[in-house]
Each structure stands twice: as structure tokens, then as C-alpha cells.
Amino acid sequence: MKKRTGEILAALDARYGTEYRCYLNHENAWQLLIATMLSAQCTDARVNIVTKDLFQKYKSVEDFAKADLKELEQDIHSTGFYHNKAKNIIACCKQLLERHDGEVPSTIEELTALAGVGRKTANVIRGNIFHEPSIVVDTHVKRISKKLGVSKSDDPVKAEMELMKELPKDHWILWNIHIITFGRTICKAPTPKCEECFLQHLCPDYEKRMKATKGKGKANGKK
């Protein structure tokens, strides 16, 4: 681990604490699995609004497996991409019943074999339900990890591997939690609040942009 990475982790811990938390409301593993599937290209806040009624209507994996496709599409319409999401949720719940007695499995291989479940969703489940060290590379994590120089790749799977190599295992889950909070409040896209940022002195991207700004200022001064 680079010295700067250690300083970034210490600063994030000091600001946000070291308690695990999940932004998607759920009471059990299958609810989190479905909520995470719904969160693709959708905000957690919107998903939480939808699942409040959804989990009252569909009270079990069996209920989702037997759901009418068109009706489920209407129930989740506001999360976007509702046709694919509804189709995958029904197929996934059928597979949970057929392969796992209705239980959500814990391994990355079994999870990613389910309909509509990629590495990101699988790692959310592994980290939050089974407390297995895992890194969820969402848009915030990919963008900010690169800005901070902790990873280099734009490819989510490659970025995940880079982060696993660079970060200590006891901070894999915390990195997801901290960076999502940081990305929503300070390092926002496309207009980060760099002047308010407590990681400003550790950010290569900020340093690079400051040098570019100074360079432009000097060039303009010579004209």
C-alpha cells in the first residue's frame, strides 16, 4: 500500500467513522439482492421509495418468482430499465428456489450465475449480508478511486482487482461506504467541491488541475 493511500484511508475513517452501513433499505438477503438489482442506473433514494411498497406486496422469494411480468414492470417502472429488471428479478427468484432452496448464496460464482446478477451486485451481497471482504465498483468508486490515484482502470472488473491489490482487506467494504458518501457530498460529478475537500492535499487530480490553471495564468500573463 502506498503511503498516500494510507493517509487517504485515515482521513476517510476520521471523517466518516468505521461503522458498516448500507444505503439500500432491506430486512434480509433476498430483499437486498432485489434492491441492488433495481439500483442499476437509479438512485438508492428512488429504489428505497419503490421497495417500501414492493416488499409489502411481494413478501417472499416465491411471490417474486410467481409475479406477473407486466404487473411487476409497473411496480418498478420508476427505477428505469423496468422490463429487463422485472424479467431478471423473476428469473433470479426462480433460480433461487430451484438451486438454493430459496436462500441467497454467498459465493461470487453462485451469485453471478443468477439472472441479472453481476460482480457489483454480488459484492454488495457478500459485503453487507455475509461480511465477506469485497469491493463494489459503482460509478462513484470507479471515478473517485481513479482521481485519488488508488486505481487506474476505467474497466470495473480491472478497477476492482487494482483496489483489492492496493487496499488492506479490512478496508475493502469501508472503501465502498466512504467513497459513495464522499462522492455524493463533496466529490460530485461533474462539479466536485474541491475547495471544501478534506482530501485536497492528497488528490493527484486536484494537483494536476491546479498546475494546469497556474500554467494558463502564466501564459496569459506573457501575452
Q: Which residues are catalytic?
A: 120, 138
Give the list of residues 6+ apart from residue 181 with CB closer than 8 angstroms, or none. Answer: 16
The counts of H helices and E strands in the chain are 12, 0
- What is the number of alpha carbons within 13 Å of residue 205 lying toward its C-beta? 16
Sheet strands (E) in the chain: none
Say which amino acid occupies 165: K
CB atoms within 10 A of CB 106: 15
Q: Which of 80, 87, 93 is nearest to 46 (CA)?
A: 80
Q: How far apart are CA 166 and CA 40, in angstroms?
A: 26
Q: For residue 169, what is its C-alpha cell?
A: 482487506
